[in-house]
Structure 1
């Protein structure tokens, strides 16, 4: 486990193992800067990797409840960068949130401290994001949306903010708004295959939950979902979620195509994506089935370079394929 890897990618077991090593890791990391400018420049503590290690260790410790080690990490970060640094202020807030646990009064005090900071400097993006996360975690969804809108108003190129806004809208079943927000993410990161797949998932949910499943809006969402999943696997040939989504989307289209009105390419908007013909959709479904089967088989066989998939996603793919096999047998 490398301290340079983002802690969000660590499993709970890996985060626990890392936090258990925290005292030894803290002893091994440099903890003070040089007394002179020359010493500081030559010191290993000025390496970006050192401070990234501190931040990642802090977050892993918070995940596992090791507040003592987390406090030591933040103390060293404050000692180096000062307590007015935007990122350090957000990390301090994160520690205070963890210390508050479920104490409503303490969480309200943390929220007020964020408001006070933003009253002085409304462009402090890390504090904006901590405030929004705290609002969401305490069930204040409307205020979280307002906070995200305010953040994106002065920082419209914040892809993370747009993705967070999409997630909030999705939680409320506002599919059109979630799609719009994810499209903004793709404007900023056009080659992000995971975002293409996520947009495909949201559009698939919108299509599959529409009343009746026979109107033009459902057809449009289904077509867009199919396009997004295809783009996702075009950008990443072995992306499991892309193939999983493509399998679901093609099955949905083949099942419902007969209910939908025939598309007239002459009258369609240039921005609309028309569904491919049935033969093409069938080939795409077959491709998705074959690729999912290959991924599951090679992961299960523990072949080299095929072990990086999430176990739960592999199991979901296996169940999806099992359903296909059962349908064929019947």
Structure 2
């Protein structure tokens, strides 16, 4: 398990295994920097990967409650970069949040420390992001949205902030706003197949929760969702989430398209995507079924190069296929 692997992608078991190795790993990582150029020559060669390893180890230790190792990681980062480095300040805040352990008074104190830092320098992006994350954990949604909007006012090309804003809107059922925020992410990262799929998921949710399922808005969301999933699998041939979403939205369209009135051209803009004909949607549904079946089969058989999928996503795909097979038998 590499220390360069993003810690948020690790399973709880992997994070625990990594944090249990923390004392040994810390012994093997450089722990100091030279005070002069001559002294630095006697120390191990420094690289960005070393400090990325410290960050990732820090997060894994916090996930598992190993505060002693987390503090050692912070100590070395402060020694190297100083305690006024923006990123180090955010990591220090992360440690204080973990130590607060859902104590409301302690969390409020951490929040105030973030506000104090931003009062001196409101362009500190890592602190802005930690503040938003803390506000969300404290269920202060309106303040979290305001914080993200403030961040995007001076950093409009921050795709991570746009994605976070989309997630906050989605939690509140504000689909149109979530779609807008994810479209901004795609402006910045047009070939991000996972973002195309995420946008497809949001648009599918918007379509499937529309009242009655027969209005023009439902049809438009379904059409856009279909387009996004198609683009996702175009960019990544074996993307399970893209094919899963394509299967869901094609089933939804085939089930409901008979209820939908044909949209007049006057109601469409040049940017609108019209639903393809039924035969095309059926072919797309068949493609999604075949590809999901292949992925599940090859993953289950433990074939080489087919083991990188998430077990939960494989289980969901298997359940979706089984449900369809049962419906056909009936």
2:86–2:124 Cα contact (<8 Å) kept: yes
* Alignment pair present for 1:142 and 2:173: no
Q: Matched residues in 1 for 2:298 and 2:244: separation? A: 16
1:31–1:45 Cα contact (<8 Å) kept: no
TM-score by length of 1: 0.98
Alignment match, 1:238: 238
Over residues 3-23 of structure 1, what are the superposed CA-to-partner deviations in whole Å (9 max), with x where a residue is unaligned? 011111111111100000000
Which residues in structure 2 correspond to 1:124-139 (within 5 Å)?
A: 124-139=124-139
Q: Matched residues in 1 for 2:238 and 2:43: separation? A: 42
Alignment match, 1:53: 53
1:152–1:158 Cα contact (<8 Å) kept: yes
Q: Matched residues in 2 for 1:179 and 1:30: separation? A: 45
Q: CA deviation at 1:267?
A: 5.8
Alignment match, 2:74: 74
Q: Matched residues in 2 for 1:274 and 1:94: separation? A: 46
Q: Matched residues in 2 for 1:306 and 1:136: separation? A: 36
1:40–1:46 Cα contact (<8 Å) kept: no
Which sections of structure 2, spanning at least 5 residues, go unmatched?
A: none
Alignment match, 2:319: 319
Alignment match, 2:155: 155
Q: 1:55 to 1:41 in 2, by over 3 A?
A: farther
2:162–2:182 Cα contact (<8 Å) kept: yes
Q: 1:134 to 1:266 in 2, by over 3 A?
A: closer
Q: Matched residues in 2 for 1:293 and 1:114: separation? A: 49
Which residues in structure 2 correspond to 1:172-251 (within 5 Å)?
A: 172-251=172-251
Alignment match, 2:169: 169
Over residues 297-320 of structure 1, what are the superposed CA-to-partner deviations in whole Å (9 max), with x where a residue is unaligned? 000000000000000000000000
Alignment match, 1:15: 15
Q: Matched residues in 2 for 1:105 and 1:79: separation? A: 30
Q: 1:141 to 1:267 in 2, by over 3 A?
A: closer
SS in structure 2 opposite 1:127? helix
Which sections of structure 1, spanning at least 5 residues, go unmatched?
A: none
Q: CA deviation at 1:43?
A: 3.9
**RMSD, matched Cα:** 1.1
Q: Please, which moves more after superposition, 28-37 or 78-87? A: 28-37
Q: 1:127 to 1:259 in 2, by over 3 A?
A: same
Over residues 207-236 of structure 1, what are the superposed CA-to-partner deviations in whole Å (9 max), with x where a residue is unaligned? 000000000000000000000000000000
Q: Matched residues in 1 for 2:124 and 2:245: separation? A: 37
Q: Matched residues in 1 for 2:111 and 2:269: separation? A: 46
Q: Matched residues in 2 for 1:211 and 1:266: separation? A: 23
Alignment match, 1:31: 31
Q: CA deviation at 1:61?
A: 0.2
